[in-house]
A and B are shown apart, each in its own frame.
Chain A
Amino acid sequence: MEDRATITLTVNGLTQTRAVDARLLLSDFLRHDLGLTGTHVGCEHGVCGACTILLDGRSARSCLTLAIQADGATIETVEGLGRMGDLGRVQQAFRDHHGLQCGFCTPGFLMTITDMLRHHPLETDDQIREALSGNICRCTGYQHIVDAVRELARARGPLT
């Protein structure tokens, strides 16, 4: 029983060991302790989706996860998807379809969509919109984001 502990986890392929307060949120750990400020923080109660990361391969709200819970886990953040001049597929599709304006919501969308493409059937626009419904964007009106996901889902395999 501790209010502080040392955790070891893999973030974007690198092993990290840090001492953390038990009450430190994973979102704040990523941003403040590891300097990975690509993960954004909007509402801190699970509603906006800006802080979405992948925890052991599935999307999770980093604002609703304690860093200490991620001990031993594999975390992927937006920084792991690609870099300037070498964008990942999802990032490139957002760029091609103008899927962002201010970009605040974008990291969360990119991580949610990565989970969607890996695990969920996305055969219709309705399915795409449903899967995106946990992420809020105040700028785009979503249509260009749906366009980007539709193209990614097509490239993934034939639509039935």
Chain B
Amino acid sequence: MKPARFDYVRAESIAHAVEALAGAGGDGKVLAGGQSLMPMMNFRLVKPSVLVDINRIPDLDRITLEAGTLRLGALVRHRMTAEDVLVARHIPVLHAAMKHVAHLTVRNRGTFCGSVCHADPAAEMPMMTLLLDGTIHIASPRGTRTMPARDFLIGSLATALEPDEMVTAVDLAIPADGTGWAFEEFSRRHGDYALAAVAVLMERRDGRARNVRIAMMGIADTALRLSDVEAALEGREGTAEAFDEVVARLKASLAPNSDLNASADYRRHLAGALARRALADAWDRAREAHMEPA
């Protein structure tokens, strides 16, 4: 047997699942797609005493359009997100990002919410949740709460989730009509975790970039929103000089690690090249919207 012994609970409802987590006394784990948890259990890096399988809880496999947001339930698999027409129509940048996530077989099982909970610094889903001002829906025996993604994701493989809590859904804010977008990623083999990736959203009003949002991964121990760089571009014309300047600022602000896959210098260069391309593409895709006269 590869994993260490545990008690298995097939949760029938969210209430059942969080009761079982609470009963585990801090040592329970939710099993969603299993595409990150099972490898860790097979190697006994993780040894939960209670495993709470949420795969049979009804109605969690939905993508729904709420007011201004798309809600992805806890059993929405990567394949569903990649193929969903609401995602393709309302959040094309997410549709583009999903093409880079893992391989066909892994996409059949892995869940969006599971990836956000796993909080791998090189995963696309936490980064896209940050880009899209995501809100995390959380349930526990004590009730429900919501939390902005930027507070939820606190470090490499670390979130603000309590041991008796599970994530029931993630809400993603739908960008305004005409918002330009771009997603750029570099990995050594298709479907592998990326060395670096960047996603950009920007609106274009009266020839100027507005509401600029930039998220990156592969450059720190979590995915990041680059608020300083966003602010530096806000209100400026989308010229080559402006993009070069903010990319120089971005590169100066990064302190990536060297590891087996890439040196810090290489990662900084890569991040700059991807960001430069993404900023220009997002600007080109943005549709001009004139501000109403005051």
Contact = CB atoms under 8 A, between A and B. Distances in A.
Nearest to B108: A58
A134 B104 contact: yes
Nearest to A71: B10
A86 B5 CA distance: 42
A106 B278 CA distance: 39
A120 interface: yes
A64 B42 CA distance: 8
Interface in A1-45: 1-3, 5, 21-25, 28, 44-45
A22 B48 CA distance: 12
Contacts, number: 102
Contacts of A130: 190-191
Interface in B100-122: 102-106, 108-109
Contacts of A129: 190
A63 interface: yes
Given A25-B2, A44-B2, A65-B38, A3 B103 contact: no
B168 interface: no
B199 to A, nearest CB: 20
A60 interface: yes
A45 B2 CA distance: 11
B253 to A, nearest CB: 33
B104 A120 contact: yes
B4 A64 contact: no
Interface string A44-60: 11100100100000111
Given A1-B7, A22-B51, A133 B189 contact: yes
Given A3-B6, A69-B53, A49 B105 contact: yes
Contacts of A49: 103, 105
Contacts of A45: 38-39, 42-43
Given A22-B7, A23-B6, A130-B190, A112 B104 contact: yes
A115 interface: yes
B104 A3 contact: no
B235 interface: no
B50 interface: yes
B108 A23 contact: no
Main secondary structure of the interface of B (DSSP, over half): mixed
A131 interface: yes
Nearest to A130: B190
Contact of B42 (A25, A69, A115): A25
B1 interface: yes
B104 A116 contact: yes
B195 to A, nearest CB: 16
Contact of A64 (B10, B20, B109, B191): B109
A94 B8 CA distance: 40
Given A23-B2, A23-B5, A115-B105, 19 more contacts: A1-B9, A2-B7, A3-B8, A23-B1, A24-B1, A44-B39, A45-B39, A46-B35, A61-B35, A63-B38, A64-B39, A64-B42, A65-B34, A66-B38, A69-B31, A112-B105, A133-B190, A133-B191, A134-B105
